[in-house]
Amino acid sequence: MEEIKALPDLSAEEQRVLGSLIEKSRTTPDYYPMTLNSLTAACNQKSSRNPVVNYDEETVTLTLNALKIKGLTSTATGGSSRAIKYKHNLGIVYPLVPSELSILSLLLLRGPLTPGEINSNSGRLYEFDSIEEVLEQLQKLSNGEHAFVKQLPKKTGQKEARFIHLLGEQAHTPEVENQTSETTIFQPNEALENRISKLEQEVEDLKELVNLLMDK
């Protein structure tokens, strides 16, 4: 029986680049694999990212090389464009299906998330039938040959536990690490937050489309 590779220990930059490649392979398949310019823009998006970063192309290139050594990315050439393009190999190296890859992409790009947040933010990546299906996938990712995710302990005032990926060390967001009773008095307006998030995503999609068209 073929031995499954141990999970990689990815740096913050490797997590962002890999997460971006997985995301765009699902959301913009017509423009995937990605050019260096498009991938850099994807890493630096201001929406759907936590934290927001500002990588230059040299940083992304060095990170791609590191991921290639680990077998997690490869290059693609051909077609009408002469530019080198990049794709992820996570679903090849490990037996992961699209629903699982989509969850890992969200966790790589956004940090700790609840099952509800995964369900509400996964639409462009994968259409889950229900939050119960998300929970089933998280269970599989937690208990398979390798554990790709784990559940964080609930903090005071939290209704749902958050999950993190196990593909490398990550800084927990302040709301996870430093919640107090004072900060949980006010509950966010989820509908308003979702609407703002969608509007921000539409703006980023338009910027992304302009970048992709310029790469052609």
Digit-coded pLDDT (tens) for 112-149 = 999 999 999 999 999 999 999 999 999 999 997 889 99
User: Is residue 59, in this structure, part of any structural domain at all?
Assistant: yes
Q: How confident is the model at residue 92 (pLDDT cuts 50, 70, 90)?
A: very high
Residue 60 lies in a domain: yes
The domain tally of the chain equals: 2
In a domain, 4, yes or no: no
Average pLDDT over residues 140-167: 90
Across the range 26-31, mean pLDDT stands at 94
* Domain carrying residue 146: 98-169
Q: Is residue 174 part of a domain?
A: no
Query: What residue ranges in 89-184 does DSSP mark as E strands?
Result: 149-151, 163-165
The enclosing domain of 37 has a CATH number of: 1.10.10.10
In a domain, 214, yes or no: no
| Cα within 13 Å of Cα(75), Cβ side | 12
- Final residue of a domain: which of 39, 73, 93? 93
Q: pLDDT class for 177, splitting at 50, 70, 90?
A: very low
- Residue 1: predicted pLDDT: 41
- Among residues 93, 119, 136, the one where a domain terminates is 93
Residues 68-75 have a mean pLDDT of 97
Domain boundary among 150, 169, 188: 169
61 lies in some domain: yes
Is a pLDDT exceeding 90 seen at residue 197?
A: no
Domain contains 142: yes
Share of the chain above pLDDT 70, in %: 75
Residue 39 and residue 72 share a domain: yes
Proportion of the chain above pLDDT 90, given as a percent = 66
- The confidence score (pLDDT) of residue 188 equals 45
- Whether residue 22 sits in one domain with residue 89: yes
Tokens of 86: 């990049």
pLDDT beyond 50 at 174? no
Q: What's residue 191's pLDDT? A: 54
Task: For the chain, report the end-to-end CA distance as a whole number of angstroms.
Answer: 44
* Same domain? 16 vs 41: yes
Same domain? 106 vs 84:
no
What per-residue confidence (pLDDT) applies to 186?
A: 35
Q: What is the pTM of this model?
A: 0.80
Q: Is the pLDDT of residue 14 over 60?
A: yes
Question: Based on the domain organization, do 137 and 152 belong to the same domain?
Answer: yes
Q: Distances in Å between the alpha carbon of 45 and those of 32, 38, 40, 170, 207?
A: 17, 11, 9, 19, 9
Residue 112 included in any domain: yes
Mean pLDDT of 197-207: 65
